[in-house]
Structures are given as structure tokens and as C-alpha cells.
Structure 1
Amino acid sequence: MIFYAEDDPDDLETFKQVIEDLGREVLAFTNIRDLIHQMKNPPPDVAILFLDINMPVQTGLHALEIIRQSDKWNDLPVIMLSTANNHHYILESQQLGANLFIVKPNSYKKLRCALKYALTTDWKKRKVTVENFLYEPTL
């Protein structure tokens, strides 16, 4: 199951549409507290997690920190999403253990490309480097 934490209703709806278009299911959360609660109390189990960085109360970076402190979720692929192409966010996401950083594309087609990449990557074999951490869709 794909989990996604996002507080913006428009971004959330677009994400859900893309995931549905890709033939997958998503469970969405509008706050980090509910996300962490669900992860601790499955079903369903999370297979890949997408986190928006700018969330109220607790940020996606805070959630990433919590997740990476648990051995249970150490191998969980975590993809950070942000509208801000902010070097600080990118660097902190990588340092906290995210697998990929995607700057939210401004088109449905580019978002679909980015999410398809994230969903088809073999995260067990992919090594995170400075060069491959930031994903920028090319169309």
C-alpha cells in the first residue's frame, strides 16, 4: 500500500489521481500524527511512503526522523515531496535517510512520470548518492 502525507487538498487530489492512473492504491493522511499511528497499527502495511515537507504541526522531515529511528521501518522507501526546490530541505532529507527527493512538478504528466519512477525503482538495490537523490522529470 502507498501512504502519502499531504495537507494541501489540491495536491492530495492530484496525487491520488496519478496513483489511480498507475493502477495502485493510496492511503492519504493530512497530518503526521495520523500517519504514524496507522503505520504502528496496520493493516494495511505501508510499502512505500511519500511525505510532503511543509505540513502543519509536524513536518514531513519530522516524520522522516521518527521513521528512520525505528528498525521496523528502516528499509521502507521514503520519498520526500516539496514545492520548494530548497537546498536545505534536500540536504536534510538525504541526511535523515530519505530515498529520493522530488520537487513537485507543475504538470500532471511530469508528476505521473516522477511517481512512476518512484514506484518502479528497486529500492533494495538502489544506493542513494548526491547525484541521484534529487529527481527531476524530463519530458
Structure 2
Amino acid sequence: MMKIFYTDDDPDDQDIFKDAINELAEPIELWTQNTGGELIDLLQNPPPQPHLIFLDLNMPIRNGYEILKEIRETEQLKDFPVVVFSTSDDEKAINTTRQLGANLYIPKPSSFNSLKKVIRHSLSIDWQTFAPTQDTYVYRV
């Protein structure tokens, strides 16, 4: 079973993400965190180990940039694939997250069907071999 961690401080976004996962009818176990600190605690005290992490950028206390930086600088966490999943479609945000080592950047889609499509796309990637380029780093629907 694939384990996905989704960190977002917005409970509505978490609920919509859960609904999309459920509609995919894939063997997925979804773990949600409300803060970056919760994500780091969970990653440092396994089980479970995620196959994929979806990370929001705009969170209080410690934002997604800080959490991404910490993940990439921590030896036992640095290899987890991280998809930045944000309402921001700003080039500066995209470039910063790429420099910090995110594997993929997805601007949050506006429709439920598009959300299912971006999740499905993320699940189809072989994260062991995927190396993002300027052309493949951002996935938009």
C-alpha cells in the first residue's frame, strides 16, 4: 500500500485532497499533518515511511520552504520525494523550491477533477529515477 503524507494547515484543503484520494480507488494510505512541525516529527519517528510527501508552502509558524530545507538537510529524510503543492504559481516560489530540492511543483488546481489528475500524475512517477528539469519541474493541468 502506498503511503502519502499531506501537510497543509487548511482543513478544507485536506478534506478535498482526502476525497480525491478516495475517488482514485488506489491502495493509498493518506496521513495528513496540519503543520510542518507535525510532518518533521512523523518523519523522524517512523513508522510509517511515506512513499510521497505533498507539502503546502503557506503555513504559519514554519512555512513549507523551511520544512523543505530541513528535510533536505537531514540525512535520514533527504531522499523522500517532496511535491510542493501550493496556491502560489509565482516564479520566485517555483525557483526557490526547486533550489531547495523539491522533486515537483504543482499549483493547486481549481477543480476536483484536475486535483485527481495531478495526484494520479504524481503517483505515476518513478521517484527513484525522476530527475526534474526546467521543463518537468512544474506540473499544471
TM-score of the superposition, structure 2-length normalised? Answer: 0.93
Using the alignment, how far apart are the partners of 2:42 and 2:130 within structure 1? 27
* Number of the residue aligned with 1:17: 19
1:121 pairs with 2:128: no
Q: Provide the residue aligned with 2:6 in structure 1.
A: 4
Which of 47, 71, 74 pairs up with 1:70? 74
| 8 Å CA contact 2:55, 2:82 repeated in 1 | yes
Number of equivalences? 137
Structure 2: state its 5+ residue gaps.
none
Listed as ranges, the matches of 1:42-57 within 5 Å are 42-57=46-61
Q: CA deviation at 1:75?
A: 2.0
Q: Give unpaired runs (5+ residues) of structure 1.
A: none
In the aligned structure 2, how far is the partner of 1:48 from the partner of 1:5? 11
Give the secondary-structure state (helix, strand or coil) at the position aligned to 1:56: coil
Structure 2 residue 113 is the aligned partner of structure 1 residue 106:
no
Instruction: Give the C-alpha shift of residue 20 in structure 1.
Output: 1.9
Q: TM-score, normalised by structure 1?
A: 0.95
* Identity within the alignment, %: 37
List 4+ stretches of structure 1 deviating above 3 A: none
Once residues 35 and 124 of structure 1 are traced to their aligned partners in structure 2, the CA distance between those partners, rounded to angstroms, is: 21
- Tell me by how many angstroms 1:18 deviates: 1.1
Distance 1:128 1:75 in 2: 14
Please state if 1:33 is matched with 2:14.
no
Does the 8 Å contact 2:43/2:77 carry over to 1? no
What is the DSSP-based 3-state SS (H/G/I as helix, E as strand, rest coil) of the residue aligned with 1:25?
Answer: strand
Task: Compute the displacement of 1:123 (Å).
Answer: 1.2
Matched with 1:82 is 86
Q: Is the 8 A contact 2:118 2:139 kept in 1?
A: yes
